[in-house]
Amino acid sequence: MLDDEQTAQAVRAVISLGYRHIDTAQIYMNEAGVGKAILSCGVAIKELFITTKVAAEVKNYDAVTQSIHESLAKLVNQCKRTRTYTFCNPRLARIFYYGFSQLSA
């Protein structure tokens, strides 16, 4: 397992090679390092496509909401932007969509 600085170094290296889709996940335990790299890589954030994922063991709306806030604190507070948040569990995605749609109504 890489620590945050090793992760940041690896992500900066692949960005320098031209990669623009950066994929992370809570289960990888590297969101903070990815965010750090994105912030310091020298490429405009709007040119990057950042993806992160909710851990599969997160099973209800409240836990998903907390999980998202944790990822945002680690990743997005570093880079101020993420484009995709993936749910690894289709049932969970339905639960979260239902809860979100109720908040948006």
Active site residues: 28
- Name residue 6's amino acid: Q
Q: Which two tokens stand for residue 83?
A: 């484009």
> Rounded CA gap, 8 and 20, in Å?
14
